[in-house]
């Protein structure tokens, strides 16, 4: 990767006046670390976990953060169904301003025996040529009895070996344990094997075989085969040693899937849905999901988009479970490349790599965007590096947006009697019953046109509040009846950086707050009714889902633990 392909904020030749607010923040992060304009060690030197606001006393004060933008779900020719070279994906990510990305290639015997090692060589070379672009190697795991997950480790001598050992021992496809396969008849065994897999990853982390490893569930409601009890089981598996409420290995799910260009009018057909969520319940689906769960709402998965729904039911237990968004890039919309031809006698199983694509100069089918072009996951860090990104993801310092809706977002919850910065996304604030607290939401509006040539404008910010009631008795519960939108603030026309100050009061029970907002172009009554969500995201008409005309942001929650005294 050449210096010209660096994001502008990381390029010393770009004047600060030419950067947006988020770029200035990210450049400052490098300057404070003494890294701007110089190479820095890649190694896996420990990055300490963020300061926690655990129950050491009332209040809490988290560090000042910069947000790094990334994508944990990117495919290349090392996946059997993708198209682009490693370099094409990495260069696109740099072009669209990503700081970090994960190549999570599909599991396959060809990948396990050949492709993973070949891709690792490309990753090591790319890390050396451009140390400011953080590139993780990962795997898209076919979960026994369920859907897919991204699995990725911190750079180190065993990162590739960890992935291939895991793939061969625990992948549902390779073991024939996927839903609908001959080996899927023993559902209890398959679900237990998935939990065992996550526990195995946790042991590799605890033993020091790898410095860190994370798992994120991908497109959870696409097929309806990720049941609530399975997701809770993955979340809880391998937990230990982390702060209260923070999963150790399985940290969350895609709040919005990739393939956001699937329903651009005139592209894929009259039945196309954003995210390629075009399925109906099957014999393998969990029977408790309604048919509407198989759609996307403003491009987001039903589990996330439904206020009082599955995501909220998990948060209402008082345990962090984060959301992300990504490209899942296999085939980019409006692109002109197609797969190359196999040499005689070769296939993916005996090579682990597809032939490089060829440019036809003719538009080819596609549903995806390039990494960072449309979907972005923002992770709060205190330093620049691989371990810092992973620590920020585990801590839940995450917000996501589509269409480059915002340049920046900072969220803090603080007791009115405290002087510090307060607690941010993923954190916990301890307060006394009846105390006055304030939610501070600092928004930096989009300052430049997005890749579609549109200057995004945020129309509203919604505050969603839910009671924390502890672990559910029914592990398949998918509703949080005490969660609702409690305030909507119209921010139409507001530009630059501004802060919303929203008073909150600690009642008798603990609670959490999370945020959501959109460009205001498409909304309606939320899935569980107007009393819960009067202006939420809604499904688009089949075949008519222009993603650039319906963009949203979501944030992770902040928990408020209420004590009697």
pLDDT for 508-542, tens place per residue?
Answer: 999 999 999 999 999 999 999 999 999 999 999 99
Mean pLDDT of 107-115: 97
Q: By 3-state DSSP, what share of the chain in percent is helix, strand and coil, each rounded to 5?
A: 25, 25, 50
The alpha-helical segments, DSSP class H, found in 268-409 are 302-305, 310-315, 386-395
* Distance separating alpha carbons of residues 274 and 373, to the nearest angstrom: 15
* Residue 215: strand, helix, or coil: strand
Mean pLDDT of 449-454: 97
Mean pLDDT of 144-171: 97
Give me the pLDDT at residue 343, please.
Answer: 87
Mean pLDDT of 167-175: 96
Condensed to tens digits (0 to 9), the pLDDT of residues 363-401 reads 999 999 999 999 999 999 999 999 999 999 999 999 999
* pLDDT range class, residue 296, cuts 50, 70, 90: very high
Mean pLDDT of 158-184: 86
Based on its alpha-carbon atoms, the radius of gyration of the chain, rounded to whole angstroms, reads 22
Mean pLDDT of 287-303: 97
Give me the pLDDT at residue 143, please.
Answer: 97
Q: Which two tokens stand for residue 312?
A: 């909220």
Q: Is 352 left (phi over 0), alpha (psi -120 to 50) or beta?
A: left
Q: Report the first-to-last Cα separation within the chain, whole angstroms.
A: 57
Q: Which two tokens stand for residue 104?
A: 């999570």
Kindly report which listed range (31-35, 265-269, 399-403, 532-536) carries the lowest average pLDDT score.
31-35
Residue position matching structure tokens 């672990």: 471
Q: Count H helices, E strands: the chain?
A: 11, 22
Give me the pLDDT at residue 36, please.
Answer: 58
* pLDDT range class, residue 242, cuts 50, 70, 90: very low
Give me the pLDDT at residue 247, please.
Answer: 81
Give me the pLDDT at residue 372, please.
Answer: 98
CA distances from 366 to 6, 69, 78, 385, 467 (A): 26, 24, 18, 33, 42
Q: Is 384 left (phi over 0), alpha (psi -120 to 50) or beta?
A: beta
pLDDT at 110 over 90: yes
pLDDT at 26 over 80: no
Mean pLDDT of 256-266: 97
pLDDT at 413 over 80: yes
More confident of the two residues 22 and 286: 286
The CA-based dihedral angle spanning residues 423, 425, 426, 428, taken in that order and rounded to the nearest 10 degrees: 20
Give me the pLDDT at residue 560, please.
Answer: 97
Which one, of 496, 467, 488, lies nearest residue 479 by Cα? 467
Give me the pLDDT at residue 246, please.
Answer: 64
Give me the pLDDT at residue 41, please.
Answer: 32
Kindly report which listed range (34-38, 276-280, 301-305) carries the lowest average pLDDT score.
34-38
pLDDT at 241 over 80: no
Condensed to tens digits (0 to 9), the pLDDT of residues 481-511 reads 999 999 999 999 999 999 999 999 899 999 9
Share of the chain above pLDDT 90, in %: 81
Burial track 287-317 (b if 16+ CB lie within 10 A, e otherwise): eebeeebbbbbbbbbbbbbbbbbbbbbbbbb
pLDDT at 39 over 60: no
Pairing of strands 322-324, 250-254: parallel
Which one, of 284, 323, 317, 318, lies nearest residue 303 by Cα? 323
DSSP state of 491: -
**Largest Cα–Cα distance in the chain?**
75
Q: Which two tokens stand for residue 6?
A: 């660096």
Mean pLDDT of 4-32: 65
Residue position matching structure tokens 């029977």: 287
Q: What is the pTM of this model?
A: 0.92
Q: Which two tokens stand for residue 333?
A: 């919309």
* pLDDT range class, residue 16, cuts 50, 70, 90: confident
Give me the pLDDT at residue 13, please.
Answer: 74
Give me the pLDDT at residue 448, please.
Answer: 94
CA distances from 467 to 464, 504, 564 (A): 10, 13, 16
* pLDDT range class, residue 249, cuts 50, 70, 90: very high
Kindly report which listed range (178-182, 200-204, 359-363) carries the lowest average pLDDT score.
178-182
More confident of the two residues 18 and 456: 456
* pLDDT range class, residue 182, cuts 50, 70, 90: low
Q: Which two tokens stand for residue 144?
A: 């026994």
pLDDT at 406 over 50: yes
* Distance separating alpha carbons of residues 500 and 275, to the nearest angstrom: 32
pLDDT at 42 over 50: no
pLDDT at 243 over 60: no
Give me the pLDDT at residue 20, please.
Answer: 60
Strands (E), 313-368: 322-324, 337-338, 358-359
């Amino acid at each position: 990767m050449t210096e010209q392909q660096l994001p502008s904020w990381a390029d010393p030749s770009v004047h600060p006046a030419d950067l947006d607010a988020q770029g200035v923040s990210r450049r400052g992060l490098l300057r404070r670390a003494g890294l701007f304009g110089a190479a820095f060690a890649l190694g896996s030197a420990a990055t300490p976990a963020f300061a926690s606001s655990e129950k050491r006393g009332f209040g809490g004060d988290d560090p000042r953060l910069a947000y790094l933008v990334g994508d944990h779900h990117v495919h290349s020719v090392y996946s059997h169904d993708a198209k682009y070279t490693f370099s094409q994906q990495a260069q696109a990510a740099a072009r669209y301003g990503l700081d970090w990305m994960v190549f999570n290639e599909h599991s396959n015997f060809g990948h396990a025996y050949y492709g993973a090692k070949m891709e690792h060589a490309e990753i090591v070379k790319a890390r050396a040529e451009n140390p400011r672009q953080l590139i993780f190697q990962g795997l898209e795991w076919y979960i026994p009895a369920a859907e897919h997950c991204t699995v990725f480790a911190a750079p180190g001598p065993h990162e590739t070996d960890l992935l291939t050992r895991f793939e061969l021992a625990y992948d549902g496809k390779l073991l024939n344990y996927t839903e609908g396969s001959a080996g899927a008849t023993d559902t209890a065994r398959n679900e237990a094997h998935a939990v065992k897999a996550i526990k195995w990853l946790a042991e590799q982390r605890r033993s020091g075989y790898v410095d860190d490893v994370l798992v994120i569930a991908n497109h959870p409601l696409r097929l309806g085969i990720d049941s609530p009890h399975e997701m809770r089981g993955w979340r809880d598996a391998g937990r230990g040693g982390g702060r209260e409420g923070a999963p150790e290995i399985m940290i969350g799910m895609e709040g919005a899937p990739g393939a956001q260009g699937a329903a651009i009018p005139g592209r894929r057909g009259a039945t196309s849905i954003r995210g390629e969520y075009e399925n109906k319940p099957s014999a393998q689906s969990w029977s408790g999901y309604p048919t509407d769960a198989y759609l996307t709402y403003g491009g987001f998965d039903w589990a996330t988009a439904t206020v009082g729904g599955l995501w909220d039911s998990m948060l209402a237990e008082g345990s962090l479970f984060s959301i992300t968004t990504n490209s899942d890039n296999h085939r980019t919309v409006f692109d002109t490349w197609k797969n190359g031809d196999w040499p005689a006698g070769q296939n993916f199983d005996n090579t682990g790599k597809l032939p490089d694509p060829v440019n036809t100069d003719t538009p080819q089918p596609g549903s995806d965007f390039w990494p960072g072009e449309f979907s972005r996951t923002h992770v709060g860090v205190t330093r620049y590096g691989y371990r810092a990104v992973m620590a920020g993801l585990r801590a839940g310092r995450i917000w996501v947006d589509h269409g480059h809706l915002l340049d920046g977002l900072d969220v803090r919850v603080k007791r009115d009697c405290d002087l510090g910065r307060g607690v941010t996304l993923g954190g916990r604030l301890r307060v006394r019953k009846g105390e006055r607290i304030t939610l501070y939401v600092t928004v930096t509006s989009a300052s430049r046109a997005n890749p579609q040539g549109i200057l995004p404008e945020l129309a509203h910010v919604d505050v969603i509040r839910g009671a924390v009631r502890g672990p559910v008795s029914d592990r398949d519960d998918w509703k949080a009846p005490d969660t609702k939108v409690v305030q909507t603030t119209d921010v139409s026309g507001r530009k630059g950086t501004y802060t919303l100050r929203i008073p909150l009061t600690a009642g008798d029970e603990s609670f959490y707050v999370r945020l959501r907002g959109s460009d205001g172009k498409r909304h309606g009554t939320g899935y569980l009714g107007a009393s819960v969500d009067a202006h939420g995201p809604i499904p688009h008409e089949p075949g008519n889902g222009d993603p650039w005309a319906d963009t949203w942001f979501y944030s992770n929650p902040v928990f408020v633990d209420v004590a009697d005294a």
